[in-house]
Amino acid sequence: MRRSNVNPAFLFLVFLSVLPARAQFTAEEIAQRPFWEEFLKTAEIVRSEEIGEGVTKPLKLYLQKGDVQSKAAWKNPSGMQGGFLEGWQYEIAAYRLDKLIGLNMVPPAVEREFNGKPGALVYWATSEHSLLQIMEEKIPIPESALEHTENMKYLVRAWDCLVANDDRTQQNILYTKDWRVIAFDHSRSFRSTKEYTDNLVNGRNGLKKTADGKPFLFRRLPRSFVEKLRKVDCRNIKEAVGPYLTDKEIDAVCKRKALLLNEIDAMMKESGEAKVLY
């Protein structure tokens, strides 16, 4: 393989901050993911510190390999915590499924042992604001980015339906300087009980509701996302997530995929394809 004289760290900043309008990475940017996966697995852990937020008590690790330096979040929750099922393996499954369906919103995540314990090491994505900061500090979204951020809000909701993430908060949605969206924190995803195989988290009959009882809808979605979702099957999903999901959890993803596509098809039948897909 020909060596590039461009610093990979610089390329990843581009990778997260200069994305095309549909939150899709270019072929060159996607090509950098193997580098960062290998970096996360093998870079020296220079030091660690508590992040200071999050019920799973994640750690921030500082990494270095050669002249490349970076940060990552290390998480190792497992089992019931605070009344919720948590799993570090779901972070890796989310990243792998993100790659499979071309969502390209979830930062790289790999398995990495730290202090003698297995866990997920997730790339510390460069961002400007969290949604929580935007809401609390009343940071205005520029008019030129309003349509895009609205579309990305719907895309995150559809993604959370697929992976049964009922823990999406304003803290774990990040915006880059040019208003691209990064979705992280998936340790409470991939529910597999009947409640999460018969229902979606969001949508018309979604499990989650606003304070006044209204559903969190996904009104518009990228055509490429929906088309890729139609093409993947359970075999593809199992190959992608490897050992990080059980057969029951994979089957649950497949059932939610069907529910999600059914709702999207109903939306298109009622409103027309052009109003739903872009």
Determine how many CB atoms are found less than 10 A away from the CB of residue 11: 16
Q: Can you give the pLDDT at residue 13?
A: 40
Q: Which domain covers residue 143, as residue numbers?
A: 129-276
Q: Are residues 116 and 63 in the same domain?
A: yes
The pLDDT assigned to 19 comes to 36
Give the C-alpha separation, 224 to 102, whole Å.
8
Domain boundary among the residues 107, 123, 139 is at: 123
Q: What is the pLDDT of residue 185?
A: 94
CATH number where 260 lies: 1.10.1070
Q: What is the pLDDT of residue 6?
A: 39
Q: For residues 170 and 84, state if they share a domain.
A: no
Pseudo-torsion of CA 192, 255, 190, 157, nearest 10°? Answer: -130
Q: What confidence score (pLDDT) does residue 128 get?
A: 87
65, 178: one domain: no
Q: Do 112 and 228 fall into the same domain?
A: no
Give the per-residue pLDDT at 82.
67
Q: Helices then strands (H, E): number in the chain?
A: 11, 10
Sign of the dihedral defined by the CA atoms of residues 118, 123, 129, 135, in that order: negative
pLDDT at 10: 37
Give pLDDT, residue 25: 55
Give the pLDDT of residue 56: 64
Neighbouring C-beta atoms of residue 60, cutoff 10 Å:
15
Q: For the chain, which ranges sit under pLDDT 70?
A: 1-29, 53-56, 82
**Same domain? 86 vs 115:** yes
To the question of pTM greater than 0.85 for the whole model, the response is yes
- 144 shares a domain with 98: no
